[in-house]
Amino acid sequence: HTPANNVSTIEILPAPSLVNGENVTYVYGEPIKVDYNSTNATGVSYEIYDELGNFVTNGTVGPNGTIDVDQLAVGNYTVYWNNTVDGNHTPANNVSTIEILPAPSLVNGTDVTVTYGEPIEVPYESTNATSVVYEIFDEDGNLVTNGTVGPDGIVPVDQLPVGNYTVNWTNIVDGNHTPATNTSTITVLPAPSLVEGENVTVYYGDPIVVPYESTNATSVTYEVFDSEGNPVTNGTVGPDGTVPVSQLPIGNYTVKWDTIVDENHIPATNTSTITVLPVPTKITIDNVTVYPGENVTIPINVTTINDEPFNGTVAVIMPDNSTQTVTIINGTGNVTWYVPDDYTPDKYP
């Protein structure tokens, strides 16, 4: 046989490569990390685009690992992955996604309780808000006031009537955060009122005028009672002033005072006293000279503490210890006495 020869071929095809990126979801503000892996690659390149197709960032990394992505705004992003290979492998590409969710925001207002007339200031604070809107409603749901303020601070509120109020708070946020709402309360309590009457002491017959004063009252009522609790007189007067009282007999009296108030104040009660004293008098009896067995008329002069003529009766104790009642008119009167025949100063001291 004669020898023969021939040829054949060996074809070595490039092996495939692979690349995969993880689909990740983060809340805005959290660090963004995307794990990836590849097979038969010498390196990996990536490009990130937003949902409108706008280029965001890119880079070249090793065959396997994690990429750190700078902060992204809320939205959906696509990551395009490409392998870098040697001559024995075919390049590969793939896609993964990054989803950035809005971060929550917070707002809190302090519950406030004040007494009517006190300044009303409501502290509040928020997180991830650009500003805060507040609305104040009364207990019937009527809007009282509203406004827009900064992220943190104090809301000064104009004077409110007594009652319970609700403050609705709402965050204003950017596109990377979700708005938040909350409520707080304002409680306005009634303010106290006060009334005070002066304790008055007069002599019988003098004018009786009782000064008084009050706080937070629209008017004042008074009632005068005698020492046995019987009503004598009453009336309603303004918030401050004096009460003229008609002539009272000698004795001790109690004045009960009560404030009349509006719905923003609490009524108050107090007492004061009126004391009517007997009028002091000054008695002057003239010196006389007389002999035993004679009748004598003795002039008597009586005046009040104010040196005014006294009208009334006085009891006169005579030298013999007898008592005579003498009528005094316009400050003068007379007492007549028969001097006993046996009268001596020693016998009738």
Within the chain, how many helices (H) and strands (E) appear? 0, 35
Q: Are strands 93-101 and 75-84 parallel, antiparallel or unpaired?
A: antiparallel
Closest by CA to 226, choosing from 207, 202, 252, 249, is 252
Q: List pLDDT tens digits, range 64-89.
A: 999 999 999 999 999 999 999 999 99
Using 50 as the pLDDT threshold, list the residues of the chain that sit under it. none
pLDDT at 304: 85
Entry pTM:
0.75
Phi-psi region of 320 (alpha: psi -120 to 50; beta: other; left: phi over 0): alpha
Q: List pLDDT tens digits, range 198-230.
A: 999 999 888 999 999 999 999 999 999 999 999
Is the separation of the CB atoms in 160 and 120 below 8 Å?
yes
pLDDT at 321: 84
Is the separation of the CB atoms in 169 and 182 below 8 Å?
yes
Cα separation values, 235 from 81, 229, 243, 269, 335, Å: 96, 17, 9, 15, 47
